[in-house]
Structure 1
Amino acid sequence: MSSMEYGNLAYLGLLGAVLVFWVFIQNRDSLTKKVQQLAAWGLIFLGTIAAIGLWDDIRQTVRPQQTVFADAGRVELPRAPDGHYYATLDINGAPTFFVVDTGATSMVLTEQDAARAGLSTDTLAYVSEAMTANGLVHTAAVTLDEVALGPFSDRDVRAFVNSGEMEQSLLGMTYLQRFARLEISGGKMILER
């Protein structure tokens, strides 16, 4: 912090102390009540800060999760509040979060997800192109050693790594066609083999 910021902080601290002192002097008769109110507001403030800090964790807990029925050979993906279906697959042993995109031809990984799966993104050749909703992007073809969704495991799965900005990896039709049945019913996407 610069000396100007320290000065501003000292000024605000002094101003706050004066205001608190003034409130206590003005209400000397009900000092106990003022301390209780100050404590209540302090707890409300701390609770709000805690909720903001933990919001991502709270949201993950409330969001519906995929359900695996290994005995039946079925995975159910609940529809998220945004209307999409999401799935977590293990790519080369690394859990990877996908948005299921029946409009996408292939499985497409973000560079971050590809690196997490053990692919060296620095050495990839982005020589192919793909048309997306955001326009033309360059992609690199890769072969994933192992892809697992619940009880279903596949080896040597062809995918692409997108060189452009992508919020999440896409689970496209080349992977979804590996399932004998894909059904959307009752707010769930059901995948069976």
Structure 2
Amino acid sequence: MPRIETPWGPWEPMPLAEVVALFRDLAAPWWVSGGYAIELAVGRSFREHGDVDISVLRRDQLAVRELLAGWDVHAADPPGTLRPWPVGEVLPAHVHDIWVREHPGGPWRFQVMLDEAEGETWVYRRDARIRRPLSTLTIREDGVMRIAPEVQLLFKAKNPRPKDERDFAEVLPTLDAVRRCWLDEALALEYGGHRWREHLRPSQPLID
């Protein structure tokens, strides 16, 4: 994996399998998200990853912090900055991104993202009108829970970078009509028009 420099120190992501092994001890729902979730949906590796993302529900954050009690954990609070997240602190509602490393001064190893929910319903943090049952949010495959690809694409649809465009192109052929329809409707609700929407109809192949 590439080493990426940031104002808060370098990233040297842990192998995904090691992060998954760590989170198997968490007594709360969690799932692989970000680019790795798309790659798992595609079923093969097709690009490098600068980080590893694990998502959890905001309501389970204290259990996550306890799991990571021996790690150096920082919250993006406010977004665009980092500050230590002590064990036992409930993070403010505007915080959704957490960076984790073994010790101060070491490279960052993975991120934890906080997702919103009301009861058994997942709520998209950028637009609360977009919701779905928690039972449909994730997919278990080969013993690993990952976010549904259409939901990850919704996160990637805001100002997509080249890697996001690549992820969309690679995973699109794997999406059935139900997943395409959900993403199309979610994009319409959040953005109105979006370039990806025309490619979500089976008759419209993706053109690079």
Which structure shows the bigger proportion of residues in strand conformation? 1
Q: Same fold (TM over 0.5)?
A: no
Shorter-chain TM band: under 0.3
Q: TM-score, normalised by structure 1?
A: 0.26
Q: TM-score, normalised by structure 2?
A: 0.25
